[in-house]
Structures are given as structure tokens and as C-alpha cells.
A = this chain, B = another copy of it.
Amino acid sequence: MTETLRVAVIGAGRMGADHIQRLSKRIHGAEVAAVVDVDLARAQAAVEGIPGAVALADADEALNNGDVNAVLIATPGFLHEDILLKALARDIPILCEKPLTPDAESAWKIVQAEEKLGHKRIQVGFMRRFDAEYAALGQVIRDHELGELLMLHHQHRNPTTPPGFTNEMLINDSVVHEFDAIRFFTGEEITSVQVRLGKATKNAPAGQHDPQHVLVETESGVLADVEIFVNAKFGYEVATQASFEDGIVSIGGDKGPYTRAAGRWGGNVTPGFEERFGAAYDVEIQSWVDAALRGEIGGPTAWDGYATAACCEAGVEAQKNGEKVAVKLNARPALYS
């Protein structure tokens, strides 16, 4: 019988609870050993019906639990650094939801700690790389099937934002996905970010300028842009149109049953990221589990987490000054080359 990953899930919020279901009901080779949440009641609710899983209020206790041999971090980003360093110290497989950490400086510390450990233990939760259409587009690019990639147009639209969602979060929590996607598609680092603020929707909360138009360049000069629109009301959408020398490829189109009724043709818009990327999360977590059981990682690295953090810092500065802001990166350690 195969060995089993006994995972401590840190954070039992929306994302954590989703992963707990995944690990305990659909993923082969993994079980939930512990759920940690500062709100112990929430941890207890999350382990209900999951045999062999304990609810804890303290991450240290989970990391020191002998029954635990892997950790999935799903807390808010500002709590990641401490847990990451402790889990690295224990040298166990780590899946860390994005962002790796909230800023480039702290992310760089994680990169250095892992480099010192000497092997990769951290996989970062940029799950779009595991979406079938993202994978297919990435393949077209790498195969030069339609010549060189020239431009990438992205739409990232959410129906609404949770309370307290700021202008900065619009870059750090939303556009961060496109930063990683652009890096994934091109295999290049992002060199600059510009942000255009124009007419704003009345549906955004006070203090949030929505939508925004984010302009990005990569090392070889691929021009990318992102319409980030987080109070778009109509539903959830993540789409990309890629312009090549010899053709155009679009992903993220609408799906599902096609209905004609009451004078309209069409179907239901995906309501949220769980529905849009549910399958990608499954593939991501299975990839992590399979790799972890072999002593490897199966997805984006801590370097990817660091590099996107640097993009976010440039993006937030660009939001404020309206100018094209260069992205500053330290030299890439050998471990990630």
C-alpha cells in the first residue's frame, strides 16, 4: 500500500475548508491529520465527519504533531512567513496558498531559507497553471505552434469584493494571478508595470477605484494587459486572448448547457472561482501530493512567489503614480534555475 500524506491544514476559512474537503474526499494518497484555526470552533466544524483529524488552535502544535507529515497553509498572507519558516525547519512538504508572503522582502527571506535547506519543499498555490485551458495555451506557446507570442490580453472580473478590499488588494490579491500567469505563459520575468485609472463603477466601495487597466511588459517585450474589474456584478470571469505571429488563441470562454428561453440564448456565467477553477484545484493538490510522496514539489516554487511579490510592489506603486514602474528582482538562486 502507498504511503499517505498526513496533512495539517492551517486556516479553516473559505479556502482552507475547501481544501479540507478535497484532501479528505477526492485526493488519492492524502488525509487530513489536523486542522488549525485561531478560531477553534471553526477548526472543529471543519474536521467534523473526517475520521482521524484533530482540531487545533495553534499551528506549532500541528507542526510538532508526529502524525503530521505535510502542511497546507491557507491563512491570510501576513501569517505565512512564520509558519513557512517553521515548516521548512521541519523539512516537510508545504503547499502555501498565494501570496507566498505579502511583500518581496519577506518573500526573499523564504527563498533564502529554502535555498539554505538545499532542496525545494515549498509549492505556491498558483492553481491556474493546473487549469486545462491554461495548460493547453502554455503548450501552444512553448511549441511555437503559431509562431512567437506577441501580446496577452487578460480579463479578470469578480462579481463583488469582500468588505475591506482595498486598491492595493486589487493588485496583491487579484492581479497577482495574472502576474504569475504571464510569467507562466512566457517563461519570462515581468520587467515593468503601468496602471491606468479611468471611469469608475458606482458599484465599488468607497476608496476603491474599479476597474483598472494594468499594463505589463516581459523580458522579450511581450505586451500584456489586464482589465481587473472586481465589482463587475454579472459573475466571475477569467479569460486570456493571446496574439501570435500566426494566429490568436482565447481561453476562458463561457461553458455549460446552452439554453434558449424567453427570447434569450446562452447559459449561466460561472458564479465564482470555486466553480471556474475547482477542477484545477483538484489537479494542483493531487500534483502536490504525488510529488510530496516522492520528496519533490509539483508546481510553482518559492521563487515564483517572490517574483510575483516584486511585481505586486511595482503594481501598487504604478497605481499611485500612473507611470511605468520597473520590477526589481534579486538574482535567481541556483536552486530555482
Contact = CB atoms under 8 A, between A and B. Distances in A.
Interface of A: 1-2, 4, 24-28, 30-31, 51-52, 132-133, 136-137, 140, 146-151, 153, 155, 157, 196, 198-203, 211, 213, 215, 217, 220-223, 225, 227, 229, 232-235, 237, 241, 243, 245-251, 253-269, 271, 279, 286, 290
A261 B26 CA distance: 33
B263 A266 contact: no
Contacts of A136: 256-257
Contacts of A253: 258
18 contacts: A2-B52, A148-B201, A148-B202, A150-B198, A151-B229, A198-B222, A213-B225, A215-B215, A229-B243, A232-B247, A233-B262, A235-B260, A247-B259, A247-B260, A248-B259, A263-B268, A264-B266, A264-B269
Nearest to A135: B257
Nearest to A266: B266
A250 B258 CA distance: 5
Contacts of A51: 1-2
Given A153-B153, A215-B196, A247 B262 contact: yes
Contacts of A28: 24-28, 30
B215 A234 contact: no
Q: Is the interface of A mostly helix, strand, loop or mixed?
A: mixed
Contacts of A201: 147-148, 150, 245
B257 A263 contact: no
A257 B199 contact: no
Nearest to A213: B223
Contact of A198 (B2, B133, B151, B203): B151
A211 B149 CA distance: 11
A271 B50 CA distance: 39
B211 A151 contact: yes
Contacts of A215: 196, 215
A232 B248 contact: yes
B257 A234 contact: no
B263 A234 contact: yes
A217 B2 CA distance: 50
Contact of A254 (B25, B27, B132, B265): B265
B234 A221 contact: no
A26 B222 contact: no
Contact of A266 (B4, B52, B267): B267
Nearest to A222: B199
A259 B51 CA distance: 47
A150 B1 contact: no
Given A147-B201, A213-B223, 12 more contacts: A26-B28, A132-B256, A137-B257, A155-B248, A202-B245, A211-B243, A234-B263, A234-B264, A235-B263, A248-B261, A264-B264, A264-B267
